[in-house]
């Protein structure tokens, strides 16, 4: 009898077990995958579109807003006020004798805004004649449960502009890693990592907040700047095959890593996806004031 196939299978299983045993992170299961779990975190991930390429040269003040499926752009005018709910913009005169009234726009309506110094303060400008390459980031958050030091870290995946609902063990969590990705071609990692914590109560739905990525101006006190390190961009694998010259070319082409804005807010209309007890347990930034001073 030939025992070689059995030996080969045993070796493969041993190797697989070794690699799985080395993993220190496990993906949290969604409540769809495990409908019987009783400790849950829920929220919504809002994210804008990031464009790559050459930005159009738009002089401020200017604003582009959406009304349903329609967009409207105002070139020239005044930014009257910006607060945590939105922006008030006063368009310039349409004629020597008439100037439209100022209008309040919520952040969900604003596509981009340029201030009087020609700085983009909200959103991203369109790129070139073809609109450039636009992507919407996903965000992976890896967390360690401080109440279970021997447990594996837990990872949750937030998809662009979608509700999320995960089963998770109760405890006090510290964020260990944040990654941004769009497919396999665009990958970045937060560096340095901001200090974020999450307290999860047992046997309830924990509302962790509405999370906004790149949709709030960093002039607001609850908005945090997250610097990143580029992990991957289109063409990196091809350039790597060209040795040192390829690495230099790719480094020159990849551009600078995005600086994201991140805020966690409470939606007063929140309702859990399942009936039963729930409480507000927002992601928080204990060192927010220090982080803002370092990143500005």
> Where are the alpha helices (H) located in the chain, listed in sequence order?
4-22, 236-240, 243-253, 288-295
Question: 102 near 88, Cβ under 8 Å?
Answer: yes
Q: Positive or negative, the Cα torsion across 52, 106, 101, 81?
A: negative
Q: Which of 234, 233, 236, 213 is nearest to 225 (CA)?
A: 213
> Which pLDDT belongs to residue 275?
80
- Sign, Cα dihedral of 145, 149, 152, 153: positive
Amino acid 250: pLDDT:
40
Query: Within a 10 A sphere around the Cβ of 5, how many other Cβ atoms?
Result: 8
pLDDT along the chain (296 residues), means of 10: 47 42 80 94 89 65 88 90 92 83 92 86 68 76 95 96 96 97 88 94 96 87 90 63 44 60 92 89 79 44
Are the beta carbons of 211 and 141 closer than 8 angstroms?
no
Please give the pLDDT value at position 255.
53
**Three-state SS at 205:** strand
pLDDT value for 245: 45
List, in sequence order, every residue forming a beta bridge with 269; answer none if it has no partner: none
Confidence at residue 52, expressed as pLDDT on a 0 to 100 scale: 60
């Amino acid at each position: 009898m030939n025992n070689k196939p059995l030996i080969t299978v045993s070796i493969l299983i041993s190797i697989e077990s070794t690699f799985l045993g080395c993993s220190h992170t496990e993906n949290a299961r969604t409540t769809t995958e495990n409908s019987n779990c009783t400790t849950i975190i829920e929220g919504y991930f809002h994210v804008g579109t990031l464009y790559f390429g050459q930005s159009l040269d738009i002089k401020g003040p200017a604003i582009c807003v959406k009304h349903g499926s329609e967009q409207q752009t105002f070139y020239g005018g005044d930014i009257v006020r910006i607060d945590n709910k939105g922006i008030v913009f006063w368009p310039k005169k349409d004629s020597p004798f008439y100037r439209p009234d100022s209008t309040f726009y919520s952040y969900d309506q604003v596509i981009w805004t340029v201030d009087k110094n020609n700085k983009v303060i909200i959103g991203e400008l369109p790129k070139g004649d073809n609109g450039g390459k636009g992507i919407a980031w996903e965000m992976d958050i890896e967390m360690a449960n401080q109440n279970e030091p021997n447990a594996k870290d837990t990872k949750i995946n937030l998809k662009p502009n979608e509700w999320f609902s995960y089963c998770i063990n109760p405890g006090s969590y510290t964020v260990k890693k944040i990654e941004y990705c769009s497919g396999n071609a665009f990958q970045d990692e937060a560096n340095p990592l901001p200090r974020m914590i999450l307290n999860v109560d047992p046997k309830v739905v924990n509302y962790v907040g509405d999370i906004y990525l790149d949709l709030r101006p960093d002039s607001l006190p609850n908005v945090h700047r997250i610097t990143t390190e580029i992990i991957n961009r289109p063409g990196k694998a091809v350039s790597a095959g060209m040795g040192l010259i390829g690495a230099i070319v790719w480094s020159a082409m990849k551009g600078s890593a995005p600086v994201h804005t991140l805020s966690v807010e409470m939606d007063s209309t929140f309702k859990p996806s399942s009936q039963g007890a729930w409480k507000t347990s927002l992601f928080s930034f204990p060192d927010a004031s220090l982080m803002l001073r370092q990143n500005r």
